[in-house]
Structure 1
């Protein structure tokens, strides 16, 4: 394991609540994770890794004006040549947020409002399946640009963005493994713009949401890309959980545009036609533990043998809330997957919460690689069933608002495809565990 100083563990800032509106806070998350039977192709069969993520946040408010900044320091230790370490794990001393915001009440008439933000910031929009600031992952997604939040009459609201997604650096493995400091870049070679409109349903627990995002990508002198030009439109209808009541969510997303067949600048440009759907129905019981039971279904298209590119691209969406942990596992994402699910949640006390979930997993296309594993059978002869996934999480505030402990566990019993595909890693099952401690200041 590489040497490190405990000075890197705790970048501490004590909360300050000044009369001028200054707020400072910080937290450090320590994670030790292990995996046996890695399902992703090309990595160690067994592995472990130590993650450290420190976040320092500050915001100053005066009247309608807001000035904010947030520093991320994400590092890992203990990996070797076969450990999957990427910019998803490492981003050292990065100013992910540095913004100015301004609020305008009654901007469009009495009772309306307009909030403007410019600079560097994080985003969590709608269901977070397309645009999110990932939290389970050791690093997050940052965006540079402008944002407008509108509060309109008749329970309508909207969020509009024009951003340059930050490309995390360094992006070469030696520097990543060494936790080198190199500031992220943003430029017009990668652009994300669009937004969503939300209308509340009767009773205020539910809403209808329409979204549209355009991603434009092109090669730069430092980075070859697939020149994605993607238009993604979505419709979401949901009702939030409440004690003694049923809840639901339905989201359908269609994606069109074009993408190159490979990173080569001369590669053929393919038309895109891909889609995703999430369906969920739940019920929350009136009980001191607030138990909730839900059935879920997720479908994300994969690429087939036709002339079009049909693998769904989740853009900058999160995965943990719907499908599985990232980190050393990171095998199940929103691409080429069919997943049914049963989920049980409970909150026995203000300090303790937990959930458990079971999902059988299939490939949407037998010719494409399964989800994020890189395991593929171009002949389609290995079938579609990937396996049974069982996972659970328990979180406990050992010291309320100061120290939170968390355990995540997952078992993947591999199915035919993950046994028989030509490049499938050995082993009949995958076991993943992570133990986390988050210290807040």
Structure 2
């Protein structure tokens, strides 16, 4: 058995010995005319995220760990502060791993606590924009063959961030995250590079099982999510494209109340995009895309798509104080323009016109709902942009993010709609890499 020369992302880097790295990110963000229900109309927060990662590599074996410290300052009772913003002094990663080659097949295994970015990251991923990350405890195995076939399998207990009550979160209190068999995620994906010309083909399956624990009622989700994906990566002077679709089945409780009815699940999501990268020093890419995630509304069947642990920033919009647009009850065509000239900076702008997939369910992740369906389906026009500049290459990076949401009829006239007028969100970020 020879040693392999590859690694899973969590085991990236084959250098022998001890490696130590870290980041510190400071963010100031502000919003006016918050579109989500139950929060301040206008708000601002200071976010501070510090990470320290250490790894020791010896031949095919590795041991590593990563500490995350995520805090916010300046919020009050009406600020949308959740475990998406606060998770102090948590050892998100603490793993052992090994890699080997069995003939022409390469194998890597990992056990312990770790982060995951699988496939498109729409179901299992770490949203880099968010102040906290998703961690998992369990097992991971990766296979790779010379024919271009790769596969990943996982059996993990998603880390449930603690504490999670508002008072503790506002004070940046320390608490150990919980993992247990009350919340289990297993499954994986298989992909074949250049399966159809330059197109990669991917298939995935994930099962999420959830049950109540004392003092913590849940929706008792038992979800099976089947996915397929075709992708041609962007390249200068060439067309690119991606189509990914998921179907979700299983059961869910109608509410968290004891004895709530159990409902069958039938939900789905599709993402389609096509683009072109111009052959110039600006590396400008223009793409069109469409995202649709089913919403609830049919009696007797639950139809709202659950994105599990997927990221949202790359496709839809930032998290943080905005966090209004996710992969649930939405139908949105979009246009995206990206530029990435050499060396120091990159930028993009996007436009999305947004509708509800179901008139009677709440729009995306805003909580705004009209159960009668009389408020229509048009949610509004969203403009989103980002600019990043390496002040000191590989050491210090500045980033500015901005969103304008011109609310449509639904977000202005639904019974529990928030303040009228355009939503404006902005964030200034400075990240130091150690």
Q: TM-score, normalization: structure 2?
A: 0.96
After superposition, residues 230-241 of structure 1 pair within 5 angstroms as 230-241=223-234
Kept in 1, the 8 Å contact 2:296–2:361? The answer is yes
Partner of 1:69: 65
Structure 2: distance between partners of 1:153 and 1:399: 39
Q: Distance in 1 between matches of 2:43 and 2:149?
A: 49
Contact map agreement 1:28 1:54 (CA 8 A) in 2: yes
CA distance in structure 2 between the aligned counterparts of 1:311 and 1:40, rounded to whole angstroms? 18
Map of 2:4 onto structure 1:
none
List alignment gaps of at least 5 residues for structure 2.
Answer: 1-12
Tell me, in whole angstroms, the C-alpha distance in 1 between the residues paired with 2:243 and 2:14: 44
Q: Is contact 2:195–2:201 with CA below 8 Å preserved after alignment?
A: no
Change (3 A) 1:419 1:151: same
In the other structure, the counterpart of 2:312 is 319
Using a 3 Å threshold, how does the CA distance of structure 1 residues 233 and 390 change in structure 2: closer, same or farther?
same
Give 1:105's aligned residue: 101
1:198-347 alignment, distance < 5 Å: 198-201=191-194, 205-347=198-340
Instruction: Give 1:180's match in structure 2, choosing from 158, 173, 186.
Output: 173
3-state SS of paired residue (2:169): helix
| In structure 1, distance between residues paired with 2:215 and 2:125 | 26
Work out which of the residue numbers 21, 26, 33 in structure 1 matches 2:22. Answer: 26
Task: Provide the rounded CA distance (Å) in 2 between the counterparts of 1:267 and 1:18.
Answer: 52
Query: What is the CA–CA distance in structure 2 between the aligned matches of 1:263 and 1:214, rounded to whole Å?
Result: 20
Structure 1 residue 350 displacement after superposition: 1.2
SS in 2 for 1:201: strand
Range with bigger deviation, 238-247 or 219-228: 219-228
Which secondary structure does the structure 2 equivalent of 1:425 belong to? coil
Partner deviation per Cα, 1:137-188 (whole Å, 9 max, x = no partner): 0000000000000013421110000000000000111101100000101000
1:127 aligns with 2:149: no
CA contact (8 A) 1:305 1:367 kept: no
Deviations 1:380-412 (A, max 9, x none): 000000000001100000011111000001100
CA distance in 1, matches of 2:17, 2:190: 31
CA distance in 2, matches of 1:297, 1:178: 40
| SS of the residue 2:417 aligns to | coil
* 2:346 aligned residue: 353
CA RMSD of the aligned region, Å? 1.3
Structure 1 residue runs of 5 or longer lacking an equivalent are: 1-16
Q: TM-score of the superposition, structure 1-length normalised?
A: 0.94
Asked whether the equivalents of residues 251 and 262 of structure 2 are also in contact (C-alpha less than 8 Å), the reply is yes
**Structure 2 CA distance for aligned equivalents of residues 361 and 403 of structure 1:** 36
Distance 1:173 1:381 in 2: 34
CA distance in 2, matches of 1:307, 1:404: 50
Paired with 1:419 and 1:433, the residues of 2 have a C-alpha distance of: 21
Aligned residues of 1:192 and 1:215 also touching (Cα < 8 A): yes
**In structure 1, distance between residues paired with 2:14 and 2:282:** 38
1:21-67 Cα offsets, whole Å, 9 max, x none, are 10001110000000011000111100000000001001100000010
Count, aligned residues: 422
Q: Distance in 2 between matches of 1:111 and 1:244?
A: 34
Most deviating of 146-155 and 322-331? 146-155
After TM superposition, give the deviation of residue 19 of structure 1 in Å: 8.6
2:383 alignment counterpart:
390
**Deviation of 1:305 (Å):** 3.0
Moved over 2 A (4+): 17-20, 202-206
| Residue 378 (str. 1) matches residue 374 (str. 2) | no
How far does residue 121 in structure 1 lie from its aligned partner after superposition?
A: 0.2
